[in-house]
C-alpha cells in the first residue's frame, strides 16, 4: 500500500501540516470553502473540496474530511487525490478494511493508465500549494506551485479526447499562481518580466477560448462566468503593476509608459495596457456580483498614483468609488471568508486619512483592521494598527511629534508593534522593522530603534532602496549629537578618567557608524570596498552583474562599461549625495566629527568619504562648526585610539579594524549553571558581524551573557587553556561557519575542544552551527547536527530558543 503514497495531498509538504493553530486552520477553511460559492462544479469544485478535506483533517475533524473526499468521488469516481486522501484518513482512524478497499480502487484507476486523471491529480496539487494557509510567501513556494500546474497542462496537450473546460480551469488557476509569483519577483527584473509574459499569454488563451463555439454550452454556467470575470480582473492587475523598466532619481523603480511590452502587442492588448480600468469594467460586465472582482477593482482605484498625490477632489472621488466597490463585496459576504475585503476597506480609509488628514477616516481604518483581526491575526495587520495608533497619538497639528499625554494610543501602538514583530517568524518585511524603529525613536529610545533599523537592513534585498540605511544613519547622528556634548574641550590637552570614558564611548559609537556604513555599501551594491592596489584585477573593465546592478543597464546597453575603480568613486559619492546630504544641515556637528574621524583615523577608502562629507556640507565655511578645532582634536586623538580603544587603520585594505572596542556584557548569565550563556567560535573576517550584530543582539536585546576570546580571555593566560576554560564554562558554543572557517587554525582548535567537551561530558545540543555562507565543507563535520541557516535569512528567535534549551 505504500507504493502509491505520492498521490494525495497528505504526501505534499503543506503549511497546514506544520502544526498550525486551530484558529489559523479554521480561518483558512472558511476562505477556501467560500470559493465553492463561485466555482460550483468541474475541476475547480473538486480541487477545492479535496483541499478543504485535508484542512479539516489537520484541524482534528476527520469525519468532516471524509465527507468532502466522498463529495469529490460522486462527481469524479477516478479522482486519484480523493482516493489517496481517503486511504490516508482511514489508515489514521485504524479502519484497515476501508483503507484496503479504497486502495484497490486507486490501483484500478492507475492500471487503466488514465492520462487525464494523472494530469488532474497534479493540477489539484498545484491548487493545494496555491491556497495552503496563505503563508510563506516566498519564491520557492510559488515556483513549485506554477511548475506543478505547467506539468499538468503539458501532459494534457498530448491527450486528444478531453473536455476543453478542464484545461480552461487549470489555466485559470495557473494564472493565479503567476500573479503570486509576480508579486515575489518584483525585485528581479528578468524573472518579473518572464512571469508577466506568461500571465498575459495564458489570460489571452482563456479569453479567446471562451469566445469559441466549444464553450457555447457551458458559457453561461456559474463557474465559467466567474472564470471569465476574474481573468479580466487579473489582467487589469497585471497591466496596472507593469514590469519595472527604469529607475527614477530617488532610486525607486518606476514605469516608462512609452514602452509597450512585446507580449502586449502580440496579444492585441495595447489599449487595456494603457488603461487597466477597461479590464475591470469588462470583468464587472461578466459578473457584477463577484467579490474578488470588486475587491481587485477597489485596490486598483486605491493604488493609482497621480503625478502629485494631493488632497484633490479627483482623488477623493477615486477613493470613494473604491469604497463603493469594497462595500458591495462585503454586502455579498461580510463573514470571515471575506476577510480580505475588510482589510481592503481599512486600507482605503487609511489612504483617505493620508491625503485629507481627517481623524474620522483613521478611526474607521482602525475599526476595520480590528474587525479583521478578530477573525485572523497577521504581522501586517498588527503593524498597520500600531502605525494607526501612532498617528492617533500625534500632537495636534504635527506630522511627527508624539503627544506623550495621549498615553492610551501610545500604549496600544507599543502593544501592536510588539505583536507584529513577534509574529513575523521567517517572513521578511523590513518595512515593519522600519516603522517600529521610527516609533521607538520618537519615544526617545534610540538604541532600540537602531536595533530595529539594523534588522531591517539585514533582511532588505540587495537592490532595494536604502530607506533602512537612512533611518539608521540619522538615528546614529542623533545619538552622537547627544554624546558629543559630553566630550572634553577640543583644545584641551589633559583628559581625566571620566573624560576618557566619554571618549571611549564616543569612539565605539563612531566605529559602529562606520561599520554599518560599510555594511550598507556592501548590502546595496553601491561600492566595492576592496582597493585597487590590493586587487590589481579590480581596475579592469568588468560588466556588472545585471541581477544586482540594473542601474548600469543603460550604460552597458550602449557599450559604456566603466572601470570598477570609477564605479567605486561615483557610487560612493551617490550614496552620500542621495542618502546623507539632508543630514549635513541638521546634524552639522555630528557630520563634522564623522568627517574628521574618517580623515584622521582611516586611510584610502575613507579619504574619499571625508572629502565628500566636506563638499556636501561645506563645513569649513559654517560659523557654528569649529572645523579646525575639531580636526586638531581628532589628529591628537589618533595616537590615543590605538593605545586605549584599539581602533586603528588597517594598512592592507584601508578599512577600520577593531581590537578592544567591545560592548560590556551583562553581569550575570541567564542560565543558572554556567558563567556564560554562549561562547562564539568565528573566523577573523567575521569579527565585525559577531561584534555588531550577534553579540549586540544576544546581549543587548535578549540579555544573554556571551564570551568571545578577544574580550573575555585574561591577558597572560595560555591561549589553549583560555579557550578551553571559556568553552567549559558556557551553556552553548556558537560556531560561525564560512568558507574561511576551516582555514583558521584557532577555529578548528576551538571546534575540536568543543566537540571533545560535548562528548566527554555528555552535553547534548552543546554546539550550535550557524551557516553564514554557502559551503559544502561543513557537510561531513556537522552531518548529525541541525545547522541554523543564516545565508539568506537569520532567524534570531530560533537561535534564542536553541540557546535557552535545557
Supply the pLDDT for residue 787.
Answer: 79
What rounded mean pLDDT belongs to the chain?
A: 80
Taking only the tens place, the pLDDT of each residue in 508-534 is 787 788 778 777 766 665 433 333 333
Burial class (CB in 10 A: 0-12, 13-18, 19+), 201: middle
Supply the pLDDT for residue 514.
Answer: 74
Supply the pLDDT for residue 496.
Answer: 65
According to DSSP, the residues that pair with 767 across neighbouring strands are 733
Q: Give the total residue count for the chain.
A: 806
Rounded mean pLDDT, 575-588: 67
Q: Where are the domains of the chain?
A: 291-372, 377-459, 477-657, 676-804
Supply the pLDDT for residue 8.
Answer: 86
**Within 13 Å, how many C-alpha atoms sit on residue 442's CB side?**
22
Please check the confidence at residue 556 and state whether its pLDDT lies above 50.
no
Please check the confidence at residue 748 and state whether its pLDDT lies above 70.
yes
DSSP 675-738: SEEEEEE--GGGHHHIIIIIIIIIIIIT---EE-HHHHSPTTS-HHHHHHHHHHTEEEEEEEE-
Nearest to 204 by CA among 249, 253, 171, 156: 171
DSSP 400-418: S-B-TT-HHHHHHHHHHHH
Burial class (CB in 10 A: 0-12, 13-18, 19+), 363: middle
Supply the pLDDT for residue 155.
Answer: 93
Supply the pLDDT for residue 148.
Answer: 94
Q: Cell numbers of 500, please? A: 576618557
Which has the minimum average pLDDT: 147-151, 422-426, 562-566?
Answer: 562-566
Supply the pLDDT for residue 65.
Answer: 96
Separation between Cα atoms, residue 342 and residue 345, nearest integer Å = 5
Separation between Cα atoms, residue 501 and residue 507, nearest integer Å = 10
The superfamily in CATH containing domain 676-804 is: Toll/interleukin-1 receptor homology (TIR) domain (3.40.50.10140)
Taking only the tens place, the pLDDT of each residue in 159-206 is 877 788 999 999 999 999 999 988 877 667 788 889 999 999 999 999
Which has the minimum average pLDDT: 130-144, 228-242, 317-331, 375-389?
Answer: 130-144
Task: Count the Cβ atoms, other than its own, within 10 Å of residue 482.
Answer: 12
Separation between Cα atoms, residue 479 and residue 484, nearest integer Å = 9
Centroid of chain to Cα 396: 34
Residue 679: pLDDT band (50, 70, 90) is very high
Supply the pLDDT for residue 293.
Answer: 98
Supply the pLDDT for residue 705.
Answer: 92
Please check the confidence at residue 553 and state whether its pLDDT lies above 50.
no
656 compared with 576, residue with greater pLDDT: 576
DSSP character for 767?
Answer: E
CA dihedral in degrees (219, 221, 224, 230; nearest 10)?
110
The residue whose grid cell reads 495636534 is 396
Supply the pLDDT for residue 1.
Answer: 46
Contacts of 660 (CB under 8 A, 6+ apart): 644, 645, 646, 710, 711
Under 8 Å between Cβ of 740 and 775: no
Separation between Cα atoms, residue 544 and residue 556, nearest integer Å = 9
Q: Cell numbers of 511, please? A: 566605529
Fold for 377-459, please state it.
Answer: 1.25.40
Supply the pLDDT for residue 213.
Answer: 87
Taking only the tens place, the pLDDT of each residue in 232-280 is 999 999 999 887 544 333 333 455 566 889 999 999 999 999 999 999 9
Amino acid at each position: 500500500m505504500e507504493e502509491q503514497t505520492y498521490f494525495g495531498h497528505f504526501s505534499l509538504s503543506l503549511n497546514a501540516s506544520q502544526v498550525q493553530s486551530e484558529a489559523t486552520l479554521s480561518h483558512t477553511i472558511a476562505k477556501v470553502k467560500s470559493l465553492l460559492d463561485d466555482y460550483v462544479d468541474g475541476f475547480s469544485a473538486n480541487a477545492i473540496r479535496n483541499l478543504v478535506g485535508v484542512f479539516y483533517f489537520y484541524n482534528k475533524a476527520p469525519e468532516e474530511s471524509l465527507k468532502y473526499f466522498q463529495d469529490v468521488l460522486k462527481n469524479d469516481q477516478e479522482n486519484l487525490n480523493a482516493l489517496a486522501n481517503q486511504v490516508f484518513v482511514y489508515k489514521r482512524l485504524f479502519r484497515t478494511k476501508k483503507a484496503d478497499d479504497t486502495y484497490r480502487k486507486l490501483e484500478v484507476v492507475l492500471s487503466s493508465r488514465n492520462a487525464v486523471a494523472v494530469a488532474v491529480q497534479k493540477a489539484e496539487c498545484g491548487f493545494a500549494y496555491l491556497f495552503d494557509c496563505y503563508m510563506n510567501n516566498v519564491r520557492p513556494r510559488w515556483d513549485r506551485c506554477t511548475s506543478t500546474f505547467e506539468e499538468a497542462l503539458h501532459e494534457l496537450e498530448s491527450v486528444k479526447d478531453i473536455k476543453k473546460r478542464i484545461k480552461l480551469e487549470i489555466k485559470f488557476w495557473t494564472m493565479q499562481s503567476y500573479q503570486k509569483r509576480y508579486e515575489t519577483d518584483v525585485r528581479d527584473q528578468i524573472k518579473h518580466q518572464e512571469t508577466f509574459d506568461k500571465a498575459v499569454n495564458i489570460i489571452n488563451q482563456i479569453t479567446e477560448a471562451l469566445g469559441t463555439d466549444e464553450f457555447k454550452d457551458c458559457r453561461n454556467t456559474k463557474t465559467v462566468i466567474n472564470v471569465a470575470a476574474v481573468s479580466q480582473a487579473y489582467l487589469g492587475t497585471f497591466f496596472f503593476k507593469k514590469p519595472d523598466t527604469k529607475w527614477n532619481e530617488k532610486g525607486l523603480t518606476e514605469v516608462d509608459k512609452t514602452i509597450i511590452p512585446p507580449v502586449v502587442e502580440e496579444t492585441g492588448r495595447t489599449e487595456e495596457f494603457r488603461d487597466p480600468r477597461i479590464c475591470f469594467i469588462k470583468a464587472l460586465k461578466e459578473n457584477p456580483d463577484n467579490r474578488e472582482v470588486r475587491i481587485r477593482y477597489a485596490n486598483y482605484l486605491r493604488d493609482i498614483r497621480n503625478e502629485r498625490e494631493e488632497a484633490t477632489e479627483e482623488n477623493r472621488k477615486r477613493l470613494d468609488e473604491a469604497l463603493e466597490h469594497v462595500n458591495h463585496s462585503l454586502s455579498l459576504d461580510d463573514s470571515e471568508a471575506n476577510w480580505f475585503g475588510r482589510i481592503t476597506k481599512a486600507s482605503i480609509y487609511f489612504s483617505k486619512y493620508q491625503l485629507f488628514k481627517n481623524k474620522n477616516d483613521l478611526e474607521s481604518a482602525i475599526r476595520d483592521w480590528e474587525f479583521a483581526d478578530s477573525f485572523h491575526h497577521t504581522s501586517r495587520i498588527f503593524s498597520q494598527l500600531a502605525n494607526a495608533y501612532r498617528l492617533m497619538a500625534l500632537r495636534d497639528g504635527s506630522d511627527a511629534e508624539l503627544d506623550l499625554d495621549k498615553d492610551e494610543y501610545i500604549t496600544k501602538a507599543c502593544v501592536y508593534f510588539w505583536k507584529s514583530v513577534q509574529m513575523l517568524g521567517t517572513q521578511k518585511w523590513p518595512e515593519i522593522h522600519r516603522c517600529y524603529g521610527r516609533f521607538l525613536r520618537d519615544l526617545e529610545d534610540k538604541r532600540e530603534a537602531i536595533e530595529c533599523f539594523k534588522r531591517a537592513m539585514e533582511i532588505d534585498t540587495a537592490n532595494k532602496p536604502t530607506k533602512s540605511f537612512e533611518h539608521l544613519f540619522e538615528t546614529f547622528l542623533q545619538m552622537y549629537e547627544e554624546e558629543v556634548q559630553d566630550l572634553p574641550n577640543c583644545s584641551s590637552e589633559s583628559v581625566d578618567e571620566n573624560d576618557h570614558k566619554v571618549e571611549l564611548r564616543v569612539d565605539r559609537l563612531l566605529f559602529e557608524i562606520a561599520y554599518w556604513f560599510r555594511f550598507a555599501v556592501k548590502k546595496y551594491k553601491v561600492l566595492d570596498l576592496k582597493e585597487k592596489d590590493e586587487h590589481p584585477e579590480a581596475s579592469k573593465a568588468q560588466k556588472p552583474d545585471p541581477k544586482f546592478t540594473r542601474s548600469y543597464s543603460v550604460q552597458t546597453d550602449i557599450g559604456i562599461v566603466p572601470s570598477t575603480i570609477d564605479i567605486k568613486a561615483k557610487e560612493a559619492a551617490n550614496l552620500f549625495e542621495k542618502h546623507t546630504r539632508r543630514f549635513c544641515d541638521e546634524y552639522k556637528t555630528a557630520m563634522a566629527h564623522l568627517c574628521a574621524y574618517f580623515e584622521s583615523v582611516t586611510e584610502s577608502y575613507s579619504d574619499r568619504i571625508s572629502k565628500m562629507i566636506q563638499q556636501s556640507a561645506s563645513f569649513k565655511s559654517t560659523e557654528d562648526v569649529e572645523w579646525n578645532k575639531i580636526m586638531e582634536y581628532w589628529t591628537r586623538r589618533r595616537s590615543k585610539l590605538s593605545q586605549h580603544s584599539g581602533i586603528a587603520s588597517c594598512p592592507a585594505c584601508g578599512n577600520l579594524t577593531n581590537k578592544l572596542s567591545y560592548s560590556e556584557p551583562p553581569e550575570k548569565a541567564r542560565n543558572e549553571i554556567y558563567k556564560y550563556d554562549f561562547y562564539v567560535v568565528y573566523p577573523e573576517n567575521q569579527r565585525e558581524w559577531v561584534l555588531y550584530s550577534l553579540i549586540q543582539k544576544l546581549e543587548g536585546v535578549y540579555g544573554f551573557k556571551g564570551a568571545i576570546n578577544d574580550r573575555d580571555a585574561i591577558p597572560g593566560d595560555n591561549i589553549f587553556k583560555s579557550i578551553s576554560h571559556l568553552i567549559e564554562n558556557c551553556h552553548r558554543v556558537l560556531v560561525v561557519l564560512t568558507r574561511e572557517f576551516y582555514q583558521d587554525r584557532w577555529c578548528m582548535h576551538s571546534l575540536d575542544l568543543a566537540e571533545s567537551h560535548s562528548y566527554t561530558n555528555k552535553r547534548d545540543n552543546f554546539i550550535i552551527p550557524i551557516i553564514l555562507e554557502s559551503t559544502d565543507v561543513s557537510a561531513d563535520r556537522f552531518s548529525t547536527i541541525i545547522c541554523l541557516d543564516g545565508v539568506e535569512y537569520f532567524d534570531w528567535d530560533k537561535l534564542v530558543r536553541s540557546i535557552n534549551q535545557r
